[in-house]
Amino acid sequence: MKSIICSEAPAKIILFGEHFVVRGKPAIATAVNLYARVYVKESNRHLFESKQLGEKVDLDKQSIPERYKQFQYVYRRVVELAGKNRGFYIVIDSQIPLAAGMGSSASTIVAFTHALLKYYGVEPELELVNRIAYDAEKIVHGKPSGIDNTVATYGGVLYYKQGYMERLDIKWPSDLYLVVIDTGIKRSTGKVVSDVLQLYKKYSQILSLVYDAAEKLVEIARIKLLNGDFLSLGELASINHGLLSAIGVSIAEVEEAVHLLRKLGALGSKVSGAGRGGIVYGFFRGEPSRILEGIPTKYKGYVVKPVREGVRSCRDMYKY
């Protein structure tokens, strides 16, 4: 059967400020050129298939695996909004590593919401897509800051603080890359976030100072980005990594990957996203394929670039 709707949303990398953002500090994230895609086909049921997980789920069933509850939530909300129901067969196909810190869950739910709104004849305005996706993210993550769904929805480089966002107009140099290493260690964002919040509660007198340092760092990074001072960004990334280690989200494997990027010539590197595994990134100038050659096969390496556009209808639907 032909796909009749296809939407795609970019992955994100938190450049600076993750975790601290959960307690109201600012963060900066960028959308990057890896995509989650959602295809919607006509059907007489409400089925959902994940290519990456190799699973099919009936969204009309009351008891479905926890990880699909957010999709069921979006489906019900969109049906309510549209005031009509219509059968579908949905296929999710994603280039974004799962549960690694690149926002795969948010990008997927954003693309899913966009595609479903279109399928039900509701204009997929970005503000609406973002709101529904955020409510859906809450089902999985408990207390998300909202940065993941916001970047997947709007794209670009965003300064984000408690629901307020500013799009940073950045002229990214053509020879500046982000090299990402996926350590392959999966973790639950919700669990890491709640451990960090617990630690904060216990040592708030110390950690409030670390949070203030993170805030200052993000404010300086915002200015450096706007001024095109990319050398300083590398240094700030490394300092930010130190602050993330202080709140307990780095582990031996993460340290190894962060230091590997520095050995390979990164201007600076850090863990990104929830940590305790997942991804680390480094800023690099020069030929990226040479850097990938230096990454051992136990890891997966990606060279990515920021993209200005967020969720959209697929550009090359049949080529994917």
Minimum gap (Å) between residue 275 Cβ and ligand PMV: 7
Q: Toward ligand PMV, which CB reaches closer, 5 or 96? A: 96
Q: How far are the Cα atoms of 5, 120, 126, 143, 308 from residue 115, in angstroms, in the given order?
A: 6, 9, 12, 25, 20
In this structure, what are the phi and psi dihedrals at residue 105, rounded to the nearest 5 degrees?
A: -65, -45
Q: How far apart are CA 223 and CA 146, in angstroms?
A: 23
User: At how many degrees (to 10) do helices 189-202 and 126-141 cross?
Assistant: 70
Q: Toward ligand PMV, which CB reaches closer, 40 or 156? A: 156
- Out of 148, 175, 212, 316, the active site residue is 148
Q: Toward ligand PMV, which CB reaches closer, 68 or 230? A: 68
Q: How far apart are CA 33 and CA 305, in angstroms?
A: 6
Decide the pairing of beta strands 27-42 and 5-16.
antiparallel
Q: Toward ligand PMV, which CB reaches closer, 78 or 279? A: 279
Q: How far apart are CA 290 and CA 220, in angstroms?
A: 31
Minimum gap (Å) between residue 105 Cβ and ligand PMV: 7
CA dihedral (229, 234, 238, 241) in degrees, to 10, reads: 90
CA dihedral (29, 33, 36, 40) in degrees, to 10, reads: 120
Q: Toward ligand PMV, which CB reaches closer, 43 or 162? A: 162
- Token representation of residue 225: 């980005």
Surface-to-core class of residue 204, CB atoms within 10 Å of its CB (0-12 exposed, 13-18 middle, 19+ buried): exposed
Q: Toward ligand PMV, which CB reaches closer, 118 or 161? A: 161
Minimum gap (Å) between residue 254 Cβ and ligand PMV: 12
Does residue 282 contact residue 179 with C-beta atoms inside 8 Å? yes
Minimum gap (Å) between residue 230 Cβ and ligand PMV: 23
User: What amino acid is encoded at 213 in this protein?
Assistant: A
Minimum gap (Å) between residue 244 Cβ and ligand PMV: 9
SS3 (DSSP) at 255: helix
In the complex, which residue's CB is closest to ligand PMV? 273
Minimum gap (Å) between residue 138 Cβ and ligand PMV: 10
Active site residue 148: yes
Q: Which residues bind ligand PMV (CB under 6 A)?
A: 14, 18-19, 21-22, 101, 103, 144-145, 147-148, 189, 193, 273-274, 278
Q: Toward ligand PMV, which CB reaches closer, 19 or 37? A: 19
User: At how many degrees (to 10) do helices 104-119 and 69-82 cross?
Assistant: 30
Q: How far apart are CA 91 and CA 53, in angstroms?
A: 11
Minimum gap (Å) between residue 42 Cβ and ligand PMV: 33
Active site residues: 148
